[in-house]
Amino acid sequence: MELYLDSANLREIEEGFKLGFLDGLTTTPTFMQREGITDVDSTIVKLSKMVPVLQIEALGDKAEEVVKEAERLLGLGLDPQKTVFKIPVALEGVRACNLLRKKGLLVNVHLVYTLQQAYMAMHAGATYVCPLVGRLQDQGHDALGLVEQCVNAVDHYGYNTKIMFSSVRNSEHVRNALNIGVHTITIPLKVLKGLTENHFTTVGTQQFLRDTRLILEECEGVFDGQIEHVGNRQAAEANLERFPVVPAAFAHVAGHVHIGEEMHLDLDETVTLARFAPAPFHIE
């Protein structure tokens, strides 16, 4: 499932795409107005250089006007293979979709609220069809049922169209999208950042960190600044293996100690070991 960020906030966009694996950005004139953006064209050009794929609005009352606007935007220097033109569903909109697709351009027919609208967009060749789940649920409709019907139509009839799950309000919507099998989802940064969060994960991580500190304190008390005389190999192994952090690694240390030699394990090396990564052990 493709993962898009839904935003026009430059700070959010920079933060989101630092992850390195987002597939693209969707934005709207409404988002830009909320951010106080006045020079839309320069903002679009800037965004196109920040993201792998940019989905932007191409508006017009007639199909020819939509096509002309898309061509004007491409004239700003946008890459036609990395730019998707968003068109609200309507008779002129799906006609514009068909004209743009014949030119080899990418189209997202959005503001879809019914299966019939989605069907017209699919049949016109839309690259993406975009139901607005949150908005539809706000009206008391079965938005998830609509999305599932759209996915089934694509699969059943073989349309070369991706269903985009949009108007995402929470992480549950992301789970819904995955269960339904949609092809693409676009989500706000706030929701995106919450997808890796879970109370039990936090508790478990804190426990691991706490236990690691306890282990380091115990190791520090035995090894840091202390020299142990090793009388025999069995005694060395028994002494080292009583620590719970990777006993085999401690036994490896003992295995390189010669009888009668003095040994110490630096605390820094113990820290590396406690993080469960291989570390070189220097025996003296």
Of 86, 92, 95, give the one whose Cα is nearest residue 53. 86
183 domain residue, yes or no: yes
Cβ atoms of 139 and 114 closer than 8 Å: no
- The mean pLDDT value for 104-127 works out to 98
Q: How confident is the model at residue 87 (pLDDT cuts 50, 70, 90)?
A: very high
283 domain residue, yes or no: no
Q: How many domains does the chain have?
A: 2
Q: Are residues 7 and 110 in the same domain?
A: yes
Question: Average per-residue pLDDT in the chain?
Answer: 85
Tally the C-alpha atoms within 13 A of residue 133's C-alpha that lie toward its C-beta: 27
CATH of the domain at 90: 3.20.20.70
Task: Give catalytic residue positions.
Answer: 86
15 domain residue, yes or no: yes
What are the tokens at 32? Answer: 């830009």
User: Per-residue pLDDT for 85 more than 90?
Assistant: yes
Of 132, 121, 122, 98, give the one whose Cα is nearest residue 26. 132
SS3 180: helix
220 domain residue, yes or no: yes
280 domain residue, yes or no: no
Cβ atoms of 174 and 197 closer than 8 Å: no
pLDDT one-digit tens code per residue, 217-275: 777 665 554 444 445 555 555 555 554 444 444 444 444 444 444 444 444 444 444 44
Contacts of 230 (CB under 8 A, 6+ apart): 236, 254, 257, 259, 260, 261, 262, 263
Out of 143, 166, 194, pick the residue that ends a domain.
Answer: 194
Out of 194, 217, 244, pick the residue that ends a domain.
Answer: 194
User: What predicted TM-score, i.e. pTM, was given to this entire model?
Assistant: 0.76
> Containing domain of residue 128, as a range?
2-194
Q: Are residues 219 and 172 in the same domain?
A: no
Q: How confident is the model at residue 89 (pLDDT cuts 50, 70, 90)?
A: very high
Cβ atoms of 177 and 165 closer than 8 Å: yes
